[in-house]
Amino acid sequence: MENIIWIILLIVVLFMVIRRVLPTKGISSIQAEELQNYLQRKNTDRPEFIDVREPHEFSSGHIPGFRNIPLSKLGSSTDQLPKDKEIVVMCRSGMRSMQAARILKKKGFSKVINVSGGIMAWRGKTTK
């Protein structure tokens, strides 16, 4: 009986890990190098850029054009975002921004893009 409990627990943990790692349907990912193309778009076609790091992380260096909405506040701040535009989300490494992308997707945003590797992978200009 004890073995069955351990097997069930292992299956549940594996399911949770796999679910976090696999891409979510409807969320695109781009590499940091591709982000420059999005940043150079004209105003009418320009996505909304959101950095979901905490304010102290954002102030230590961020990409010009991104605004800071920490992941912890994103769920209650989605009314500030246009649902008809692409939303590009990033964080330090790409993990929190993928969580943010999932939150946005659940809130009805259809064009959500995660920056894989986050700001750690970015080689362009940053601002403090």
Give catalytic residue positions: 91
Q: Is 82 left (phi over 0), alpha (psi -120 to 50) or beta?
A: beta
Tokens of residue 96, six digits: 């929190």
Per-residue DSSP letter, 79: G
Could you give the CA distance from residue 109 to residue 69 in angstroms, rounded to a whole number?
16
- Tokens 């102030």 correspond to 59
